[in-house]
Amino acid sequence: MSDFDFDLFVIGGGSGGVRAGRMAASLGKRVAVAEERYMGGTCVNVGCVPKKLFSYAAHFHEDFENAAGFGWTSQPPSFDWATLVRNKDQEIARLNGIYQRLLDNAGATVFHQHAELRGPHTVALGERTISAERILVATGGWPYVPSFPGSEHAVTSNELFSLETLPARVVVVGGGYIAVEFAGIFNGLGCQTIQLYRGPLFLRGFDDDARHFLAQEVQKKGVDLRFSVDVQSIQKSDSGYIVTTTSGEEIGCDLVVYATGRKPLTDRLGLEHCALDLDRDGAIRVNSDYQTSVPSIYAIGDVTNRVNLTPVALAEGMALVWHLFRDHERPVDYEFIPSAVFSQPNLATVGYTEAEAQARFGTVSVFSSTFTPLKHTLSGSAEKTLMKLIVDVATDRVVGAHMVGPDAGETIQGLAIAMKAGATKAMFDSTIGIHPTSAEEWVTMREPVR
């Protein structure tokens, strides 16, 4: 019997921490998980899940409009914000319970309180200290708002899911996927929406063609995009807030949303008691086995600020458990990880951007198609879809796929499997398409555009 209270103590009850804790406990290890806020972490409570639900809600207004072209007529529908929030809360509560039961059924001990490091093998829970042979930090990230005059008036994604009322006028600040998604959500729910971003084009890091195409589609839907502009100050007014930009413009609104990035959540973690190495952004440095500079302490997920996606944290949690307790290496492959932006319309991607592929492989062929989906030939919508493939000329392997259009994530997930398996463009070309679908375009693009 070990001299420690637990074999593994997990700080953080998000997706990665729960997965690691549950799997280690199922192997007979003595496991504890501490979570002070909500089981399931950011994704379940104030991230992926409620955001996708809100994205569905925002898209319904287009569905009502599009139905007219197919012969459906009805009274203009009304939207009730309180109903959406209430139903969302019920679903999140259900998911919280599932995460709790997963740990309970596996035999893990759960502490619903704040945990801090006190040493290489010690964790503090209030006045109580607990020892563990190994400690796993899986605390995730937290929204970041820069300091400027009036910054205290801004809200982040954490607060958006529980607003008491739906604002009429919204200013969203930021150019990442969270900003783009919420701009689309508020616009779709009927809010007058302005998105400000200090750079020349949003979604830096995504494929340039997809970024430009999405910007056009977002503007078509009514979001007022303003690039190369930043916020100078926010002032409270009698009717809401006044946002003053760096160009001197004053914008009146009811809500200012800051989605300008997230930082690894290491506040109050007790880092002063352990010499954990951090990078310049405050993320915990780990090696290929997720081990920190303190050999008994490990870290996974967003707190390491590598690939900040929920499925990646889950995979890292599994890989760590196999490494520590099964003496079997099942490393995470970080190449060809698919991802999606639940904008209006969606953007999804897997593999390399065109610029990355050129740098990595040299000569590449680019296949691209822009078209009006069959649905919109009757709906009257001006929305178009973009599909793009990038092929390494030397091997004919498809190394990048990018899409902007309805349910792009659903389509890209299937392509990710093929690309992980090393599918070539010849294999795409020899695959029979499903007609009529937008997805068949992936296997009918014959001539490269460049």
pLDDT digits (tens, 9 = 90+) for 127-169: 999 999 999 999 999 999 999 999 999 999 999 999 999 999 9
User: Which has the higher per-residue pLDDT, 345 or 77?
Assistant: 345
Kindly state the average pLDDT of the residues 2-7: 92
The percent of residues above 70 in pLDDT, for the chain, comes to 100
CA atoms within 13 A on the CB side of 90: 5
Average pLDDT over residues 393-399: 98
Which residues sit opposite 196 in a β-bridge? 173, 226
Percent of residues, the chain, with pLDDT higher than 90:
97
pLDDT at 382 over 70: yes
pLDDT attached to residue 406: 95
Domain ranges of the chain: 6-143+263-325, 151-260, 339-443
pLDDT of residue 75: 86
Mean pLDDT across the stretch 5-31?
Answer: 97
Which pLDDT score, from 0 to 100, does residue 116 have? 97
Q: Helix-strand-coil percent breakdown of the chain, rounded to 5?
A: 35, 25, 40
If DSSP codes are grouped into helix, strand and coil, which group holds residue 17? helix
CATH topology assigned to domain 6-143+263-325: FAD/NAD(P)-binding domain (3.50.50)
- Residue 329 has what pLDDT? 84
Contact 385, 438 (CB under 8 A): yes
Confidence grade of residue 376 (pLDDT, cut at 50, 70, 90): very high
pLDDT tens per residue, range 295-314: 999 999 999 999 999 999 99
Cβ-contact 389, 400 below 8 angstroms: yes
285 to 102, 280, 319, 335: CA distances (angstroms): 29, 10, 17, 20
Instruction: Please report which helix (H) or strand (E) contains residue 123, including its range.
Output: strand 122-125
CA distances from 423 to 329, 360, 415, 437, 439 (A): 26, 18, 9, 21, 17
C-alpha pair distances (Å), 387 with each of 395, 409, 421: 21, 12, 20
Q: Model confidence at 261, in pLDDT bands (50, 70, 90)?
A: very high
* Position 275 pLDDT exceeds 90: no
| Residue 435 falls in the annotated catalytic set | yes
pLDDT at residue 339 in the model = 98
- Give pLDDT, residue 1: 55
CATH 3.50.50.60 fits 151-260, yes or no: yes
pTM beyond 0.85: the answer is yes
Helix axes 177-188, 48-67, angle to 10 degrees: 40
Alpha helices by DSSP H, listed for 277-345, are 310-325
From the list 129, 119, 138, the residue with the least C-alpha distance to 11 is 138
Q: How large is the average pLDDT for residues 69-81?
A: 92
Banded pLDDT at 74 (limits 50, 70, 90):
confident
> Mean pLDDT, to the nearest integer, of 194-202?
98
Residue 255 confidence (pLDDT): 98
- CB-side exposure of 237: number of CA atoms within 13 Å? 16
Do the domains 151-260 and 6-143+263-325 match in fold? Answer: yes
**Which residue, among 90, 97, 87, has the nearest Cα to 40 in the 3D structure?**
97
141, 268, 305 from 283: Cα distances, Å: 9, 14, 6
Task: Report the top-level CATH class of 339-443.
Answer: alpha beta
Least trusted range by pLDDT, from 45-59, 125-139, 317-331 = 317-331
> So what's the pLDDT on residue 328?
79
Cα 30 to Cα 114: distance, rounded to the nearest angstrom: 20
